[in-house]
Amino acid sequence: MDPVSAFRAVREQTEALVAPLEPEDTGLQVAMHASPPKWHLGHTSWFFEAFLLGPKVPNYTVFHPKFSFVFNSYYEMVGKRQDRAKRGDLSRPLLRDVLAYRKHVTDAVSELLTTASTPEIANIVALGCNHEQQHQELILTDTLANFAVNVMDPAYGPLAPPSEHAAPDMTWHDFDGGIQQIGHDGPGLSADRFAFDNETPRHDVLVRPFSLSSRLITNGEFLEFINAGGYTDFRWWMYDGWHWVKKEGIAHPLYWRPDGAGGYAQFTLGGLRNLDPNEPVCHVSWYEAMAFALWSGARLPTEPEWEIAFGDRPITAKHNLVENKRYAPRVASGTGLTQAIGDVWEWTQSSYAPYPGYRAPEGAFGEYNSKFMASQLVLKGGSCATPLSHLRTTYRNFFYPADRWQFKGFRLAKDG
């Protein structure tokens, strides 16, 4: 696909994801972490305007002088911005104005790629497209958060069908220890084999022998943890996690709803459905994943262990990614190590920190990843809301340990 077509395909996919929503849905923000879909539409346009069109196109006409304040996210070098927790306070600009803004930016970038592209411009466009794909996933997860608090139980799309078979028995797969390499082996932030800067540089790690579970932990297995008193027994919880459970009254994964008969229903992008015991447990925090692992006599994998086990896995359309339009994890199938790609982001026990030799990019792009390298944990593997072309096995997602609104689950690990 030529660069203009590839760029426009990403832009069109963002708009296609918002198309099922009513205009009233696009301005909702029920929590600080869940931005309005309309804001995602504008922010992903502002990114190209602020970092590409404004600096690189002589006499470029900014669409609206106040949009930078509305749609800047956290870039201190670019100027002041609307408070993150109050993005939903703004009824204006209207959705139709934001869509007009998108067309203005899309046409300008397309023209630039057609008439005056350089390697530097191509690299910025690649970053902008990958940035937009991150927000495509956020459009889905934030819409789920917004809809989950609505008494009308609205649905974004079709209800995912129940599993056609039971989850296979869990088996353990052994890996040797020693010196291995992880991380992306390219320059990063390049149109040629793109990777984010935080995936670099490739480097040596020393690991002990370890074992990984063949699949993700299921809803049914997590329900056993709940029924065994897992949320009421301090022995399985990190100190901060136990404080979080008690303070917030946490008793089950996010979007689970007690059905009054000792079981649970689950709210999804397809609406409310019976909890499927065979599907991977989803929307759990790192605290919950760690508590289950300790309760079961295991632990979470480290980031190096996960990447050593799955680093050579091809990513194809057979995986449960956003293109499948299921918008929910699906039951494991097959033998060997399964579910590495898609379904849910997998928590690891590794802190999100710079790799040895890492240097943040100069300028505002240095704010993209590096300033978040504290107090967060790494997740790997992508989810049912991740675009196929966006994902790599070196990809490092990261969230705070209490975060649950993304599609997050886990598998287990043991020392060898």
pLDDT value at position 314? 93
pLDDT at residue 416, as a whole number: 87
Inside any domain, residue 164:
no
Say how many Å lie between the first and final Cα of the chain, rounded: 45
Q: What is the pLDDT of residue 341?
A: 97
pLDDT score of 185: 94
Tokens of 245: 């459970």
Task: Please report, rounded to a whole number, the percentage of residues in the chain having pLDDT higher than 90.
Answer: 95
Helix ranges (H only) for 162-278 are: 219-227, 239-248
Q: What is the pLDDT of residues 371-399, one digit of tens each?
A: 999 999 999 999 999 999 999 999 999 99
**Cα–Cα dist 356/198, whole Å:** 11
- Give the per-residue pLDDT at 261: 87
Q: Does any domain span residue 31?
A: yes
0.85 cut: is pTM over it? yes
- Which pLDDT score, from 0 to 100, does residue 92 have? 97
In a domain, 155, yes or no: no
My answer on whether 281 and 379 are in the same domain is yes
* CA atoms of 204 and 383, how far apart (whole Å): 27
**Mean pLDDT, rounded, for 42-69:** 96
For residues 193 and 252, membership in a common domain is answered with yes
Distance CA 301, CA 381 (A): 13
Q: Are residues 219 and 339 in the same domain?
A: yes
pLDDT (0 to 100) of residue 255: 98
CATH code at position 216:
3.90.1580.10
Token reading at 73: 């996210």
| Confidence bin at 281 (pLDDT 50/70/90) | very high
Looking at the fold, whether 134 and 82 belong to one and the same domain comes out as yes
Report, as an integer, the average pLDDT of 89-114.
Answer: 98
- Domain membership of residue 153 (yes or no) is no
Mean pLDDT rounded to a whole number for the chain: 96
Residues 179 and 239 in one domain: yes
Q: 44 with 193, same domain?
A: no
Domain shared by 17 and 133, yes or no = yes
CA distance linking residue 373 with residue 224, whole number of Å: 35
Q: What pLDDT, on a 0 to 100 scale, did the predictor assign at position 260?
A: 87
pLDDT at 1 over 90: no
Domain that holds residue 390: 172-415
pLDDT of residue 67: 98
Residue 104 lies in a domain: yes
DSSP string, 25-60: GGG--SBTTB--HHHHHHHHHHHHIIIIIHHHSTT-
Supply the pLDDT for residue 188: 84
**41 near 14, Cβ under 8 Å?**
yes
Q: 201 and 257: one domain?
A: yes
134: CATH: 1.20.120
Residue 129 pLDDT grade (very low, low, confident, very high; cuts 50, 70, 90): very high
Residue 236 lies in a domain: yes
Domain shared by 353 and 411, yes or no: yes
Residue 262 has pLDDT above 90, yes or no: no
pLDDT digits over 362-372, tens only? 988 998 999 99
Span 299-328, average pLDDT: 96
Q: Tell me how long the chain is.
A: 416
Span 256-260, mean pLDDT? 94
Residue 360 clears pLDDT 90, i.e. is over it: yes
**Mean pLDDT within 215-226:** 98
Nearest to 195 by CA among 187, 204, 205, 207: 187
pLDDT in tens, 5-30: 999 999 999 999 999 999 999 999 99
**Cβ contact 385:319 at 8 Å:** no
Cα distance between residue 317 and residue 295, in whole Å: 35
Q: Do 344 and 408 contact (CB within 8 A), yes or no?
A: yes
**Per-residue pLDDT at 138 exceeds 90:** yes
Same domain membership, residue 50 and residue 198? no
> Are 121 and 182 members of one domain?
no
Residue 159 lies in a domain: no
In this model, does residue 187 exceed pLDDT 90?
no
For the chain, the domain total comes to 2
- Is 76 domain-assigned? yes
